[in-house]
Structure 1
Amino acid sequence: MSSIAATDTTISTSRTKVIQPAWVRVMHWINAAAMIMMIMSGWQIYNASPLFDFRFDHSITLGSWLGGALLWHFAAMWLLMLNGFAYLVTGLVTGRFRRKLLPISPSSVIADLKAALTFKLSHDDLSAYNAVQKLLYLGIIAVGIVVVLTGLSMWKPVQLHWLVSLFGDYPAARYVHFVCMALICAFLVIHIVLALLVPKSLRAMIIGR
């Protein structure tokens, strides 16, 4: 009887344990909305002056025309920058990034990647990230910083000429910005697929538990 009671207590505790605090959930969904708006409006801006021999279908763009897309893009840009900055500061101050994303090593990434590809990676403990998740989250934070910097350099190339020079020149900044956008899209696809494969992780990001 005592073992059954202990098991019931463990299950009850796991169900009431806060996996994602409120500030993480709020900032996560704000970032998601801002990023989707930026991607869709960015595709419309790209269509006005494409870098490659293709254009994005009008049905998946935002803004209808170049001027409208720029308005959406700039509005979402400020939302993403302010919310993203608050997320970074809060994550560093609270120690969440240190606890969640460190330590990480190449060997742990390779081991967890092999486990994931063979469907042997455990998802029982949502409060701890595996090495692959750590790598993805660290990588997307870095990509997010670069996409903001390249975006600013394209927005104010004269005033921020020193920032443009970090990427070589204006055309190079455009290519870097596009590559970062593609990486963010790939991350979103992987993120959504994983959420669908492990529904309780999505529930935790909605209700926290």
Structure 2
Amino acid sequence: MHTSTSSRPPGRARVHTLPVRLTHWVNAYAMGCMFMSGWGIYNASPIFGFSFPEWATLGGWLGAATIWHFAVMWLLVANGLLYLLASLFDGHLRRDLLSVRGADIRRDMAAALRLRLDHRAGRYNAVQKAMYLGVLLLGLLLVLSGLAIWKPVQLQGLTALFGGFAAARVVHFIAMAGVALFVVVHVSMVLLVPRTLPPMITGRAPRHVPEGGRDA
């Protein structure tokens, strides 16, 4: 008896490579440590009229927070370089992130505001692409402004580019706030669409089969 293609189980497809999954989870740990140790450093000399609660900081005092911050910084930079190299090698960066247009962003943003944005595991919509590219640029800004703060004499040219030590601290804080906002939105989307989490662990998700039975 002939069985139609549409009646067959869709199976599972690979949606995330091992380098993407590995760097994602290392990044999650490293960013958490960077946020908390950075907030501890900030509290020692606040830029604005507030401080972060003690429970949200890492290290307990300025010296330990600084050690944590600089140690994890190298893990974060190495992890970021691994992600970029792997993404360039397997085409992930070009295929999944760089192929975005302004019109696509406006269309998907309108759909997201109406809660009608389609989501398929392993495929980034235009809003996601823009957010990921934006957070990569913020990460670069964090590294450069962080170096300007860390070595203001040795890297005085870089520090001057940011407008001086004090201005570099403000830029560093604003870039950190931008990354933190990305994390909040990212986690919120995972909570709203929880089926996106398992593929980031296993690398595979049910294959999408649209109406008509042909694999998409």
> Which TM class, normalised by the smaller chain length?
over 0.9
Match of 1:119 in 2: 115
Counterpart in the other structure of 1:83? 79
Letter in 2 for 1:200: R
Q: What do the CA deviations read for 1:131-176 (whole angstroms, capped 9, x no partner)?
A: 1000000000000011011111111111111211221211111000
Spell out, residue by residue over 1:64-85, the C-alpha distance to the aligned partner (whole angstroms, 9 max, x if none). Answer: 0000100110111010011111
| Matching residue of 2:3 | 2
- The one of 182, 188, 197 equivalent to 1:193 is 188
Q: Structure 2: which amino acid aligns with 1:174? A: R
SS of the equivalent of 2:136 reads helix
User: What secondary structure sits across from 1:122 in the alignment?
Assistant: coil
Q: Tell me the CA shift for residue 182 of structure 1.
A: 0.4
Following superposition, the deviation at residue 117 of structure 1 comes to 0.9
Query: Is the aligned partner of 1:183 residue 2:184?
Result: no
CA distance in structure 2 between the aligned counterparts of 1:177 and 1:21, rounded to whole angstroms: 31
3-state secondary structure, aligned to 1:150: helix
Pairing 1:157–2:152 present: yes
2:117, 2:158 → 1: CA distance?
A: 42
So what's the TM-score if we normalise by structure 2? 0.90
Identity %: 49
Q: Within 5 Å, give how 1:95-106 maps onto structure 2.
A: 95-106=91-102
* Structure with more of its chain in helix, by fraction: 1
- 2:140 matched to 1:145? yes
CA distance in 1, matches of 2:195, 2:7: 20
Q: Deviations over 1:37-68 (max 9, x none)?
A: 00000001000000000000001111100001
2:8 partner amino acid: D
TM-score by length of 1: 0.93
3-state SS of paired residue (2:8): helix
In structure 2, C-alpha distance between the alignment counterparts of 1:159 and 1:89, rounded to whole Å: 29
What does 1:34-113 correspond to in 2, within 5 Å?
34-113=30-109
Find runs of 4+ consecutive structure 1 residues off by over 4 angstroms: none
| CA-based RMSD | 1.2
For 1:153, give the aligned amino acid: A
Per the alignment, residue 212 of structure 2 pairs with: none
Q: Given the superposition, is the C-alpha separation of residues 158 and 205 from structure 1 closer, same or farther in structure 2, using an over 3 Å criterion?
A: same
How many residue pairs end up in the alignment? 203
Question: Partner amino acid for 1:150?
Answer: S
Structure 2, unaligned runs of 5 or more = 205-216
Cα deviation for residue 181 of structure 1 reads: 0.6
Match of 2:168 in 1: 173
Counterpart CA distance in 2 for 1:36 and 1:7 is 45
Please state whether the residue corresponding to 1:28 is helix, strand or coil.
helix
Structure 1 distance, partners of 2:7, 2:121, is 19
